[in-house]
Amino acid sequence: MSIVLPPEHLQKVLGYTFSEQRLIKQALTHRSFASTHNERLEFVGDAVLNAVVGRSLYIHFPKLNEGELSRLRASLVRQESLANVASELNLGDYLWLGEGELKSGGHRRPSILADALEAIFGAAWLDGGFEAAQSIIERLFVSRIESIDPARALKDPKTALQEWLQARHHALPLYEVVRQEGESPNLVFEMSCSIPALKVTTLAQGPSRRSAEQLAAGEALGMLKEKYPGKAPRRA
């Protein structure tokens, strides 16, 4: 059996110590491990996360309209983004998972990591009120929000990559399904994004084909900008 780290260190990283330790333990328990698990806490955490992130975006970007704020919030609270935050916390090392999930690498699965992170937010809200959850969320998201460039963030990666290539008269990228595994709601798609003329190919995983394509496109665009920082190649 994999060794699960105790939650005390995680609470130091979060900057909050739970009065009711059973809540943080429940937040870290997957349904495959016990009947008392984190799904109900996840439901509560999703609500407080949207509220806190929405408030922060409202304050930081006073010139953006409601639709633009909604798109930015969606990009910050989507599964991939939450899984990235969870990975930075090494959250998978603290999760209680059933034997099947352990064997299949559940402690690295984006859906499990994202759900556990939301469950922690929900547990903090129940333990210390809205301000407790808000303090944790702002601690984890403030730098991400402050670093947002709305002009770039509001354009999805596939569109940005397409425009970059079209401006240089190159063919559109090719997207292919490399791998698909699991069952709903834990599907995992691996997609490739290739630009043969520029010898660039990237791979990315996501819970849907579209999300994996977007991630692969973003990585491809980043590679192109790094590979051609100055005058980019144009097709004759």
Residues flagged as binding site for Mg(2+): 42, 115, 118
Catalytic (active-site) positions = 46, 118
Both tokens of residue 165? 């290539």
Burial of 97 (0-12, 13-18, 19+ CB in 10 A): buried
Q: Which residues are annotated as a binding site?
A: 42, 115, 118
- Tell me how far apart the alpha carbons of residues 67 and 184 are, in angstroms, rounded to a whole number: 29
Q: How many CA atoms lie within 13 A of 24 on its CB side?
A: 21
Torsional sign, CA 125, 140, 223, 182: negative
Torsional sign, CA 135, 207, 218, 160: negative
80-83 long-range contacts, CB within 8 A, separation 24+: 80/110, 80/114, 80/206, 80/207, 80/211, 80/215, 82/113, 82/114, 82/117, 82/118, 83/110, 83/111, 83/113, 83/114, 83/117
